[in-house]
Amino acid sequence: MHNPALQHCGIDAQYVRVQVPVGSVGEALRKFAKAGFIGINVTIPHKFEALDTVDEVDPLARTLGAVNTVHIKDGRLYGYNSDGPGFLRSVQEAFKAEVKDLRVLILGAGGGAGRAVAVQCALEHCQALTLVNRTASKAHELAVELQGRGVQARSVAWDAEALAQVLPEVDLIVNGTSLGMKPEDAPLLPAGSLLSRHLVFDMVYRAGGQLTQLGALASEAGAAYVDGVTLLLHQGAISFEHWFDYPAPLDVMRAGLRDALCA
């Protein structure tokens, strides 16, 4: 999506992929700066190391606890996080809704993008926040932390009985895990627990537009659903805007992303 955007905007640059070993992020970022790079996207497992490496951290990235976008300007490294803002834009586009008006349940809220989305929901003062994680203690600790931000937050066990009890009290369901990309993955929700009024946000996606496991459950229930492609698009647009201080050509990026996934 980035190379079509660069070409469309007449920017003489190219987006490339570079593999960096764990523990070498600081060295890599300094080399990128010396080589004249404009910006970098950082993916797992490097987001926490990037947070500790950049020269200046955006306050939101500091709050979310990770850096996934770096802008290089005058040799200095500026760190941002597009997970939370990209999530907000995606919910607005997909569901014509604002997170502040919703009761949200997040599966996989213990770390990574799931944690970032949970914190972003708290910052938006969502109506209520329910956190679920395989390691229950992580969800509980985060719930206590977010209660200190003035949001009604709780953690529940990841089992069929507990989920069946809380789902009727939820508007937006977010999958922040990697589960669902493969047909053989364990079920995320108990059968029959989704309602047609639910909004279902899956942070994963399958190539070619195939439904994820959660997408199939949402389709059966008649619930509104969006997969992770929309989040990927808006994360990319936010990165582009940090790098160039210029509105991202969203339609061009969307077409480029769609073509790549279909290929």
Enter the tokens of residue 258: 């769609």
Length of the chain: 263
What is the CA angle 4-226-130, rounded to 5? 125
Asked, as a colleague might, if the bond just before 45 is cis with ω within 30 of 0, I would say yes
Q: Which residues contact 99 (CB under 8 A, 6 or more apart)?
A: 87, 88, 91, 120, 121, 124, 126, 172
**Residues designated catalytic:** 47
> With contact defined as beta carbons under 8 Å apart, do 110 and 135 qualify?
yes
Locate the DSSP E strands across the chain. 39-41, 56-57, 69-73, 76-80, 103-107, 128-132, 153-156, 172-175, 199-202, 224-226
Distance of CA 12 to the CA centre of its chain: 29
Q: Cα–Cα distance between 125 and 153 in angstroms, integer?
A: 10
Annotate 103-125 with b (16+ C-beta within 10 A) or e (fewer).
Answer: bbbbbbbbbbbbbbbbbbbbbbe
